[in-house]
């Protein structure tokens, strides 16, 4: 519309500009584009002295609020005609997440601001009847007596509880099962599906106002490693050691897996630095002139994205050669750690194979000679439920990892990533031998140039 001569000076009957409406619509790219024209300021108000920050707070759009607070674009203490700050507006709407962002940014002094009716944000929140208002009232009550310059910080208690829940839950079930003797197997069969359901039904973010990335899947991986190693060293190794050379290989390999796990957790996944942003564009107008997608501008990092780069909302980073956000590692897989990730998965496949093989050898060793009837098998599984349960879980994980590895190798062999992969490009025409060579060279040398598939312009950003 701007290219076709739309008049940017037009305001509506309430004096709202195009920028006000872009803020209400939640389109950060449009807001940034309008600001670039130099015809709008973030301090512009309508005839009721409502600022863009008031509007963002009223819609509950946390990303827009963060954008408007960045680089002090909007004054947090600005009041409208009724003397309400943006915190008053958010509190009246019961928007817990927006109130939390505003409090973190400004400190507790905003809690004591009164509008022209003499009401504080806490008063307004207390007048609301919804669950969110009740949740917000509890939150604001917690900070009302804090010093005015105190800035609340995220609490990590729930994060770490969630992280270690699978490990502790699994340990509790195994402990209960061990106390019930031969009924332990039945208890495991009942409680492990419940544990799995409570883990895999969770969202990508912890459902509190802090909206932290949910570490439950990383906790599941840690639980799997912890319980498998514990079972391996406590139960399996003493029974077989040192009769089987397989055990000695396993010890070395589990150490390797642990080292790779630690490394993949701390390695830079390929964060897009400001210096690496696409140099062809310096403003959104450049995108419009060159007929490029607005998605090339990341409104969260405020960077112009090169090809095959995507912003991950959970990591809050733009990732080069983005592959996927791995929930089990709670971080992205991209240019910086793709090779490391593949090697880690390969090592995990081998570790699971070793565990399953040694567990089968252990269970076979426990069967009395000449007596392999069904009833003896059931008695064996009931008595050796610890090894039997972990063997089953490791075997299921192994199947999933083989599928994952196949998908990953397919993407690497075709010169793309699993996110940007699209059938039909020429790389898919490579022979099987060429594809294997590409994968092996990638694993050995690491460097590669992602070129297949799409650049991401036609893809819908994954909202996680």
By the criterion CB under 5 A, which residues form the site for Zn ion? 298, 300-301, 311-312, 314-315, 318, 325, 332
Q: 91 preceded by cis ω (within 30°)?
A: no
The nearest distance, CB 295 to Zn ion, in angstroms, is: 11
Sequence-ordered list of residues with C-beta below 8 angstroms from that of 172, at least 6 positions apart, any chain: none
Give the start-end residues of each E strand in 327-432: 331-333
The nearest distance, CB 158 to Zn ion, in angstroms, is: 20
Q: How many CB atoms lie within 10 A of CB 51?
A: 26
Nearer to Zn ion, 197 or 274 (CB): 274
Q: What is the DSSP letter of 425?
A: S
Nearer to Zn ion, 30 or 188 (CB): 30
Nearer to Zn ion, 277 or 387 (CB): 277
The nearest distance, CB 278 to Zn ion, in angstroms, is: 13
The nearest distance, CB 284 to Zn ion, in angstroms, is: 15
Residues 56, 68 contacting (CB under 8 angstroms): yes
- The number of residues making up the chain comes to 464
The nearest distance, CB 36 to Zn ion, in angstroms, is: 18
The nearest distance, CB 318 to Zn ion, in angstroms, is: 3
End-to-end CA distance of the chain: 31
Which residues does residue 25 pair with via DSSP β-bridges, in sequence order?
none
d(CA 80, CA 23): 16
Q: Which of 257, 259, 255, 258 has its CA nearest to residue 347?
A: 257
Nearer to Zn ion, 130 or 293 (CB): 293
Nearer to Zn ion, 99 or 314 (CB): 314
Nearer to Zn ion, 308 or 385 (CB): 308
Nearer to Zn ion, 49 or 271 (CB): 271
Q: What is the DSSP letter of 459?
A: S
Nearer to Zn ion, 199 or 301 (CB): 301
d(CA 36, CA 43): 14
Nearer to Zn ion, 90 or 314 (CB): 314
d(CA 242, CA 248): 8
Nearer to Zn ion, 164 or 300 (CB): 300
The nearest distance, CB 341 to Zn ion, in angstroms, is: 12
d(CA 351, CA 187): 27
Residues 211, 158 contacting (CB under 8 angstroms): no
In the structure encoding, which two tokens stand for residue 85, read together?
Answer: 């700050």
Sequence-ordered list of residues with C-beta below 8 angstroms from that of 144, at least 6 positions apart, any chain: 108, 111, 122
The nearest distance, CB 315 to Zn ion, in angstroms, is: 3
d(CA 103, CA 127): 20
Which residues does residue 213 pair with via DSSP β-bridges, in sequence order?
205
- The 3-state DSSP class for residue 291 equals coil
The nearest distance, CB 77 to Zn ion, in angstroms, is: 29
Nearer to Zn ion, 216 or 312 (CB): 312
In the structure encoding, which two tokens stand for residue 387, read together?
Answer: 């090894």
Q: Cα dihedral sign for 217, 221, 226, 231?
A: positive
The nearest distance, CB 179 to Zn ion, in angstroms, is: 41
Sequence-ordered list of residues with C-beta below 8 angstroms from that of 55, at least 6 positions apart, any chain: 20, 23, 24
d(CA 240, CA 387): 13
The nearest distance, CB 377 to Zn ion, in angstroms, is: 44
């Amino acid at each position: 519309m701007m290219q076709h001569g739309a008049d940017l000076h037009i305001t509506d009957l309430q004096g709202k500009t195009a920028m006000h409406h872009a803020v209400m619509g939640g389109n950060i790219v449009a807001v940034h584009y309008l600001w670039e024209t130099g015809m709008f300021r973030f301090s512009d108000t309508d005839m009721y002295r409502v600022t863009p920050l008031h509007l963002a707070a009223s819609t509950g759009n946390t990303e827009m609020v963060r954008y408007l607070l960045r680089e002090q674009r909007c004054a947090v203490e600005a009041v409208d005609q009724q003397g309400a700050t943006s915190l008053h507006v958010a509190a009246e709407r019961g928007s817990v997440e927006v109130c939390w962002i505003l409090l973190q940014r400004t400190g507790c002094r905003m809690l004591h601001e009164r509008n022209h009716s003499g009401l504080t944000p806490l008063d307004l929140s207390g007048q609301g009847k919804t669950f969110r208002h009740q949740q917000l009232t509890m939150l604001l009550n917690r900070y009302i007596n804090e010093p005015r310059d105190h800035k609340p910080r995220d609490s990590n208690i729930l994060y770490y509880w969630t992280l270690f829940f699978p490990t502790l839950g699994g340990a509790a079930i195994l402990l209960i099962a061990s106390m019930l003797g031969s009924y332990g197997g039945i208890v495991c069969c009942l409680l492990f599906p419940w544990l799995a359901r409570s883990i895999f039904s969770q969202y990508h973010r912890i459902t509190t106002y802090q909206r932290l990335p949910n570490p439950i899947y990383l906790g599941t991986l840690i639980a799997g490693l912890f319980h498998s190693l514990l079972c391996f060293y406590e139960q399996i190794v003493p029974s077989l050691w040192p009769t089987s050379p397989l055990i000695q290989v396993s010890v070395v390999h589990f150490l390797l897996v642990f080292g790779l796990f630690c490394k993949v957790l701390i390695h830079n996944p390929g964060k897009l630095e400001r210096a690496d942003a696409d140099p062809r564009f310096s403003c959104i107008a450049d995108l419009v002139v060159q007929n490029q997608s607005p998605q090339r501008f990341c409104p969260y990092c405020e960077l112009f994205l090169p090809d095959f780069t995507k912003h991950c909302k959970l990591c809050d980073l733009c990732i080069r050669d983005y592959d996927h956000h791995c929930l089990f590692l709670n971080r992205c897989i991209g240019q910086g750690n793709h090779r490391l990730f593949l090697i880690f998965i390969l090592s995990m496949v081998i570790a699971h194979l070793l565990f399953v093989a040694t567990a089968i050898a252990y269970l076979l060793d426990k069967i009395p000679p000449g007596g392999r009837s069904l009833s003896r098998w059931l008695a064996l599984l009931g008595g050796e439920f610890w090894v039997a349960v972990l063997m089953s879980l490791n075997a299921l994980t192994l199947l999933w990892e083989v599928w994952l590895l196949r998908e990953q190798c397919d993407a690497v062999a075709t010169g793309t990533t699993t996110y940007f992969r699209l059938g039909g490009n020429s790389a898919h025409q490579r022979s099987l031998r060429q594809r294997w060579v590409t994968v092996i060279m990638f694993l050995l040398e690491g460097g590669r140039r992602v070129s297949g598939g799409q650049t991401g312009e036609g893809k819908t950003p994954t909202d996680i």
